[in-house]
């Protein structure tokens, strides 16, 4: 439980009153954000205590950075090809009028948190349109959380944000926020989540394995015929349990098993949650410094140190994986070239080792040109050849024709915009949409002309394993 001192009550009420005065003077709502340092608390405890509410979670365990966002002060939802720019413009407009107090550390400043769908508009559906599993996860949905608990190696901050109307009752608003804040932490919220007994889960493939392997063979033939160079073909599995899946326990297990990943969750009040542990950064912007990565080409881990070393060495020289990786690097460099200077790309890929897989990995850095923004980077980079293929539009056409499901937010950007123009987005891989006792998991494979259907199927199963194991509590 978070206690509230008299001084803190007074600061909040006074800041809200100043915000209302600004809103009245300008004739429109004003975002008010108040941050304060608090005693260290695990943000996952805050996320866990917010069952039945809008909530978000983001953690980079190895980087010592995590936050939980609870409630909604402001929502920005957008569809269409300009969704990245429109979302960022809405955020900048909010910040132009905003009253921000107490954000003396970068981690305490307000954030716009959320994600985007793989496509910029919902897939066409027959009339009457059936209920979709992705209801509540539109082409773009980002929010300013009412409360955000942020933990870093340097400290912990609680940021409270609210959209103040010109005619709001400030005293009543302050009382409501203060009351809600007391309920932010449940001391027992994480009890037992990491030690849950394994659960039985029924799994169904979409499409079935034989059909997917047939599609792999057909797409590989199209590539050999010169129609395109690479396609990332995904498959989905539907998991069902006798009781509701434990979202918080799943996150607890993911962050423990994959400390080098981005562990994320976007939870709707309906109960549906999109979550995962992805190794792939799409883009990070700090000031004008840009960081991105190419991640393509993979092989399983070995059962012994000797086998593991052999498999890793083979990945580094495998012609198919090296060519697939080179296409992603080429696409990434080309996407950044129109926005950035001083693009630095190592000539030889590195190896990124995860608990269950080795990846080929190339870090990319650049400097963003004046006048360009994080939204520009998102629009140019997504979808990368690592999740779509190359050339982009031809690959997307194949994906739309071959995948018998809507990717929704799978393989799309999730992350946050900062208040100073900075921000970070990951590619939502190794992910699942969880709704009660049902979950939908996704994995894709980069297909080339010499792709082997059996080998690609095995690779997709390998990529599905981390999330399925976390849901099962294995």
Annotation marks residue 320 as catalytic:
no
Q: Which of 400, 366, 175 is nearest to 283 (CA)?
A: 366
Phi, psi (deg, nearest 5) at residue 363: -75, 140
8, 36, 230, 252: the active-site residue: 230
Instruction: Check if the beta carbon of residue 35 is closer than 8 Å to that of residue 155.
Output: no
Q: Which of 344, 368, 363 is nearest to 285 (CA)?
A: 368
DSSP 68-109: EEES-SEEEE--STTHHHHHHHHHHHHHHH-EEES--SGGGS
Q: Which helix (H) or strand (E) holds 54?
A: none
Instruction: Check if the beta carbon of residue 101 is closer than 8 Å to that of residue 10.
Output: no
Question: Which residues face 150 on adjacent strands?
Answer: 67, 157
Q: Which of 362, 366, 381, 382 is nearest to 287 (CA)?
A: 366
The whole-angstrom separation of Cα 161 and Cα 147 is 6
36, 280, 403, 456: the active-site residue: 280
449 by Cβ neighbours in 10 Å (0-12 / 13-18 / 19+) ranks as: middle
Instruction: Check if the beta carbon of residue 451 is closer than 8 Å to that of residue 216.
Output: yes
The DSSP 8-state label assigned to residue 229 in this structure reads S
Q: Which helix (H) or strand (E) holds 185?
A: none
Q: Which of 242, 312, 285 is nearest to 420 (CA)?
A: 285
395 by Cβ neighbours in 10 Å (0-12 / 13-18 / 19+) ranks as: buried
Task: Provide the token pair at 119.
Answer: 């496509």
Annotation marks residue 463 as catalytic:
no
The whole-angstrom separation of Cα 298 and Cα 321 is 7
Instruction: Check if the beta carbon of residue 360 is closer than 8 Å to that of residue 349.
Output: yes
Catalytic site positions: 230, 280
């Amino acid at each position: 439980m978070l206690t509230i001192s008299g001084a803190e009550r007074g600061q909040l009420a006074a800041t809200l009153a100043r915000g209302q005065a600004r809103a009245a003077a300008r004739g429109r709502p004003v975002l008010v954000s108040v941050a304060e340092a608090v005693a260290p608390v695990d943000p996952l405890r805050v996320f866990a205590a917010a069952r039945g509410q809008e909530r978000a979670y983001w953690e980079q365990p190895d980087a010592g950075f995590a936050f939980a966002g609870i409630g909604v002060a402001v929502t920005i939802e957008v569809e269409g090809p300009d969704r990245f720019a429109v979302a960022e413009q809405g955020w900048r407009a909010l910040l132009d009028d905003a009253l921000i107090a107490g954000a003396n550390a970068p981690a305490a400043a307000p954030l716009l948190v959320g994600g985007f769908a793989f496509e910029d508009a919902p897939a066409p559906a027959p009339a009457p349109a059936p209920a979709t599993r992705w209801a509540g996860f539109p082409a773009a949905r980002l929010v300013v959380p009412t409360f955000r608990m942020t933990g870093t190696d340097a400290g912990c901050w609680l940021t409270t944000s609210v959209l103040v109307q010109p005619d709001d009752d400030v005293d009543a608003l302050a009382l409501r926020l203060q009351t809600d804040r007391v309920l932010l932490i449940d001391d027992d919220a994480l009890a037992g989540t990491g030690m849950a007994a394994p659960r039985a889960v029924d799994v169904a493939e979409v499409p079935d394995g034989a059909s997917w392997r047939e599609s792999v063979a057909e797409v590989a033939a199209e590539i050999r015929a010169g129609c395109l160079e690479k396609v990332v073909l995904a498959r989905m599995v539907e998991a069902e349990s006798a009781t509701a899946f434990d979202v918080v326990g799943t996150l607890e297990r993911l962050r423990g098993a994959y400390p080098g990943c981005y562990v994320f969750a976007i939870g709707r009040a309906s109960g549906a949650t999109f979550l995962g542990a992805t190794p792939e950064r799409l883009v990070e912007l700090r000031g004008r410094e840009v960081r991105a990565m190419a991640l393509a080409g993979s092989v399983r881990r070995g059962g012994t140190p000797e086998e593991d070393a052999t498999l890793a060495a083979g990945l580094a020289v495998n012609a198919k994986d090296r060519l697939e990786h080179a296409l992603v690097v080429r696409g990434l460099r080309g996407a950044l070239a129109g926005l950035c200077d001083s693009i630095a790309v190592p000539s030889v890929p590195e190896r990124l080792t995860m608990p269950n897989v080795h990846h080929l990995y190339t870090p990319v850095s650049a400097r963003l040109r004046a006048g360009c923004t994080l939204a520009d980077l998102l629009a140019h980079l997504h979808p990368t050849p690592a999740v779509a293929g190359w050339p982009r539009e031809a690959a997307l056409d194949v994906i739309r024709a071959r995948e018998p499901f809507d990717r929704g937010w799978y393989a799309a950007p999730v992350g946050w915009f900062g208040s100073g123009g900075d921000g970070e987005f990951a590619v939502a891989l190794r992910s699942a949409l969880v709704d009660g006792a049902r979950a939908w998991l996704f994995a894709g494979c980069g297909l080339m002309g010499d792709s082997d259907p059996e080998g690609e199927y095995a690779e997709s199963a390998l990529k599905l394993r981390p999330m399925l194991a976390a849901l099962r509590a294995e």
